[in-house]
Structure formats: C-alpha cells, structure tokens
Amino acid sequence: MKEQIEKYLVEVAAFNSNVLQEIEQLRIRFLGKKGILGELFEAFKTVPGPDKKEAGILLNTLKNAVQEKINELRTSSEESVAEQNTTEIDLTRPVGFYETGSRHPVAIVRNRMVAIFQNMGFSVAEGPEIEDDWHNFSALNFPPDHPARDMQDTFFIEKRSSGNDISLRTHTSSVQVRTMEQTRPPIRMVFPGRVFRNEAISARSHCIFHQVEGLYIDKNVSFADLKQTLLHFAREMFGEQTQIRLRPSYFPFTEPSAEMDISCNLCGGKGCNICKYTGWIEILGCGMIDPAVLESCGIDTEMYTGYAFGIGIERMTMGLFQVKDIRMFFENDIRFLKQFGSVV
Ligand code: DAH
C-alpha cells in the first residue's frame, strides 16, 4: 500500500492541465465516491497495527496533495482567466475617474472678496432677498417718485397702500440699512448676496446677479480711508501692479459718490476688447454715506461719518476668468462649470 500511495503522489505532483474538464476528471478519479482515496481508506482498515501510523500519514498527504493540486489548477485554468477578464476584478485595467464637483465661479470670487475684507477687520452679514420699500429704497434716501428709483428696475411682489411695497431687493444696500438700524458704530461689515433687477438680459447684464457691499461707520471716517481700503482690495484681488481711478458719480445714499475703475489687468492699460480700449475697467460704486441715511437709521451724524461701497461679483468674475457672457453663470452648463474645478 505504501508503494501504491507513493506512486499516486508522484502522479499527482506531475499532473498539469489548464482545461477545467481534465481537472474535474482528476478530482473524480481520486476524490469521487468510488475514487482511489475511498478505496485506499477502505484498505487502510486492514493494515496491520504497527504499519497503521505511517500509512495514515501517507494517506492524508495524498488527500491534501490532490486537493491542493485541484485548487491550484482551477484558479489558473483557461476558463477562470477568461472569466476574470470579463468581470470588474481585472487588476490590469486603468482606474476609473470620479467626477468631483466644483465651486461655482461666482462663489469662488465672492469667497475671495469676502476674505480680503475679513483680513482688514470687516465682519460679514446677510439679509432677506424679499425686501420692503423702506429697506431697499426709502431709508437709502430714494424719496417716493424720485427719478433715482428708475435707476433700478424692480420686480414687485406686492403693492401696499402704505407705500411700503414688497419687492425682490435690487441691491444688498438693504442689508446695510438693516445693520445700521440694529447695530451701533463702529460698524465695519460686508454684505454678500444675490440681487434682482427687471432688466433685459444680454451678454453684459442679467436680471439676477450678486454683489458684495461694504460699510464702515466710525468717528472721523474720511474719503481717504475709503480710497485706501479700495486700493488695498484691488491690489489683493488683481495683483500688486493694479492702479485705481475714482470718477465722480451719483447715488442717492452717498455724497460725494464715485465709481471706481481698475487698470485693465489683461492689456496692462494699453487697451483691449475687455476694457473697450480705454485701459480701465469699472468695478464698483462707492461714496461717503449721506447723513440723511445715517439719520434714517438712528445714527448720530454729529458724532459719526461713514463710507459705503457696492461691488458686482459677476463683473469681477468675468474680468478674472475672461468670461465674455454673463448668462453663462446662470445656465448651469456643466461643461462651463467644471472648468473651475481646480480653482478654490
Ligand atoms: N447699491 C449700488 C448699486 O446696486 C451700489 C453701491 C454704490 C453701493 C455705492 C454702495 C455705494 O454702498 O456706496 O448699484
């Protein structure tokens, strides 16, 4: 019996095949119901006592050798290799890429703008998008029927007999009013948010856009403070070489009022189609807060002065990323939006 088992061991060790059917035949021959191992275990019963131990060990060795051989050949058999190639566990395949989301370009620029002002000590507040006439217009020195109201075409929601009509806010200056009413100076804050105007939509203007407005009220705040703050902002945003230019303007809530341009960062001031060949790009409105506005909000005009500014975020984003059409920001076209995935 010993020699017999040793012969089988040699045979099993030498057996090789990558055809599943042949491997199965080996299994049936050795491990099947009427297989060789069954017969040998049967014969083992009659082995004389002194030889039993050695024969038992040999028998188990053969059994394990057959089992191991079958397992090994099965995994490398043609069929199983072919099967692996058709399932996802082909480790040689290149990894798939995940489409990660990205921030909206307007959000990227808003966050940068807010961060620059926060570094200068400004805190941040937000307010409602649905506003009443008082906070959006009257407290900001737009008298009823004043032509200045036409500057901002409004989406009305509800006309009220009191005159305090409800509308979508046309600027975040309404949050300035809410803040001035509720907080005592010194106030140094910025107000990012979405605003709405009943305007024809074109490549340069939209009925929805975003602003960051700002406010600084304290003792002895001057126009020089305003200018220096905005110069610092422009240089942080567009680079150290950026120049600013203030032009006289008109807003009902500031006196004096100005609009600020920055030197065109694309052509360096030489003139290109982005700056319409002027070398300058208009980015914001600003001015010293009209004392009438401070009084409307209960702030002592003998003691305090302040400046305010309002910046359009889309205009800024168009300049920074060379986007030629404002409508792209609102179309949710994934091909446009995913281009900003690497910018934070
Ligand atoms: N509210 C103005 C607008 O929407 C922008 C603005 C201009 C805001 C001057 C200000 C300011 O606070 O001082 O066009």
Gap from CA of 309 to ligand 1 centroid (Å): 6
Pairwise CA distance, residues 93 & 85, whole Å: 9
Query: Please, which pLDDT band fits residue 85 given cuts at 50, 70 and 90?
Result: low
CA of 235 to the centre of ligand 1 (A): 21
pLDDT single digits (tens) 132-171: 999 999 999 998 887 767 667 899 999 999 989 999 999 9
DSSP for 83-139, written as a single string: HHHHSTT-TTSPPPPP------HHHHHHHHHHHHHHHTT-EE----SEEEHHHHTGG
Q: What is the structure's pLDDT at 163?
A: 87
Ligand 1 binding pocket includes 285 (Cβ within 6 Å): yes
Q: Is the CB of 252 under 6 A from ligand 1?
A: no
CA of 289 to the centre of ligand 1 (A): 10
| pTM of the full structure | 0.72
Query: According to the model, what pLDDT value does residue 229 have?
Result: 98
pLDDT of residue 83: 64
Q: What is the pLDDT of residue 319?
A: 85
| Dist. CA 102–CA 341, nearest whole Å | 5
Q: Does residue 293 have a pLDDT over 80? A: yes
Indicate if ligand 1 lies below 6 Å from the C-beta of 309.
yes
**Position 271 confidence tier, pLDDT thresholds 50, 70, 90:** confident
Q: Which residues pair with 193 in a beta bridge?
A: 211
What is the CA(80)–ligand 1 centre distance, in A? 72
Would the CB of 319 count as within 6 Å of ligand 1? Answer: no
Per residue in 298-344, pLDDT (tens digit) is: 999 999 999 999 999 998 998 889 898 999 999 999 999 989 877 66
Is the CB of 254 within 6 Å of ligand 1? yes
Choice between 21 and 86, residue whose per-residue pLDDT is larger: 21
Please give the structure tokens belonging to residue 204: 């340069």
Query: What pLDDT digit, counting tens, does each position of 8-35 carry?
Result: 999 999 999 888 888 999 999 999 988 9
In a 13 Å sphere around the CA of 338, the CA atoms on its Cβ side amount to 7
CA of 38 to the centre of ligand 1 (A): 96
CA 213 to ligand 1 centroid distance, Å: 7
Instruction: Specify the 3-state DSSP secondary structure of 330.
Output: helix
Which residues on adjacent β-strands are paired with residue 309?
Answer: 214, 286
209 in contact with ligand 1, CB cutoff 6 A: no
Nearest CA to ligand 1 atom 8: 310
Beta-strand pair 280-289/305-312: antiparallel
Separation between Cα atoms, residue 112 and residue 106, nearest integer Å = 10
For ligand 1, what atom is nearest to the CA of residue 214? Answer: 12
Residue 132: per-residue pLDDT: 96
